[in-house]
Structure 1
């Protein structure tokens, strides 16, 4: 089995816990499992906590232009733009992703109309995944929502691009609590490992081949009148 070289990749994890630093984040605990794999593989990996920034809600690149007093999103955007892999981490509240995760996805959407050097939408050639923790049901529901959102704005999603841990239904221990024994959960550890390598494999393939061909998917070319093999069918 040949060992791939992932050392030219950059990964950004955005932890959408509701807690500001330095409070303990159980979601960060599971993120760290994935991040350590990437770091051992030579990947430049970084995790930021979204709640530590003053990010205004909205769907424009800089919300100070639309009435917000402050907006740290442009600073975060530079990290997102530089990353080959983006992983969103969220806790589960009332069966849903956190409000911070919703705001992050809205701000990712705000940049999705930008174009890369090929005239494609800006997220083409980048890979996305998600990490989810909680002590109630909802991992697959949250993953379904976030992974759909990422692919819709242009990220590519590999097989099994999500991982998570939940305890028993109702109040109980969380991921980092010793009594949860979560760090020895083989299902979670396996899925987290597989997710991490699936993200890396796909990101490497895309980066090595220079992303996607812009034949048939360039907004720039479309606006200039190129239609490739598109035509409206004639109905009789």
Structure 2
């Protein structure tokens, strides 16, 4: 089984990413279940704007799309900015919109029988809003969203320290992240045994 983590931080490599640090807690638990996990930092790639799978020469999205199709589990990770998902998270979701019209060899939407969850960090409130926006979009695309398939970290409204700079709240965020990984893995296994079928006409 494979998992893909798409980190939608605004920080380019090699700058440390708070969002990636928390997402790695989830990935570590997935790997404990034998799941092979890959990371993509969207800001490092030339992902063109649009709602197609391939936006032409120089577009880095087709390679990410292939990684999505190889993965049974998707973790979308985003910081909170102005109480909303990052602009890169929105761009990734817009490019994934093309998956709505793509089907597998049985006529099912390509996101069927795949699960997804959300990781959020930020020094302000809004995590539940970010989770609901991203999870709702992924559900529209066809992903199955297990119960409690998210974790987040913040220290309340207003400015404050970053996740990597303050240990407060880590225990809860990490425990929730491990539960998220367990639920993603459990539902992904269940879908392998009893997959969703082609939607009725």
In the superposition, the TM-score normalised over structure 2's length comes to 0.96
Whole-angstrom CA distance in 1 between matches of 2:156 and 2:129: 17
How big is the shift at 1:46?
0.8
2:21 aligned to 29, 32, 35, which one?
A: 29
Whole-angstrom CA distance in 1 between matches of 2:192 and 2:39: 21
1:181 aligned to 162, 167, 182, which one?
A: 167
Count of residue pairs brought into register by the alignment = 201
How big is the shift at 1:160?
0.6
Partner of 1:58: 50
Say whether residues 1:143 and 2:127 are aligned partners: no
How big is the shift at 1:33?
0.5
1:178-213 residue CA offsets vs partner (Å, 9 max, x unmatched)? xx214x63321221111110000000110123x212
1:122 aligned to 106, 110, 121, which one?
A: 110
Which secondary structure state, in structure 2, belongs to the residue aligned with residue 101 of structure 1? Answer: helix
Question: Which moves more between the two structures, 107-116 or 26-35?
Answer: 107-116
8 Å CA contact 2:108–2:197 kept in 1: the answer is no
Greater Rg by CA: 1
Partner of 1:228: none
How big is the shift at 1:174?
0.8
Whole-angstrom CA distance in 2 between matches of 1:117 and 1:207: 16
Higher relative contact order (CA 8 A, sep 6+): 2
Following TM superposition, the consecutive aligned residue runs of length 4 or more in structure 1 with deviations greater than 6 angstroms are none
Partner of 1:198: 183
Partner of 1:234: none
8 Å CA contact 2:6–2:75 kept in 1: the answer is yes
How big is the shift at 1:106?
0.4
Whole-angstrom CA distance in 1 between matches of 2:191 and 2:156: 39
Q: Provide structure 2 residue ranges, at least 5 long, that are not aligned to the other structure.
A: none
Question: Which moves more between the two structures, 132-141 or 189-198?
Answer: 189-198
Q: Provide structure 1 residue ranges, at least 5 long, that are not aligned to the other structure.
A: 1-8, 223-236
8 Å CA contact 2:99–2:109 kept in 1: the answer is no
Partner of 1:233: none
In the superposition, the TM-score normalised over structure 1's length comes to 0.82
**C-alpha root-mean-square deviation of aligned residues, in Å?**
1.2
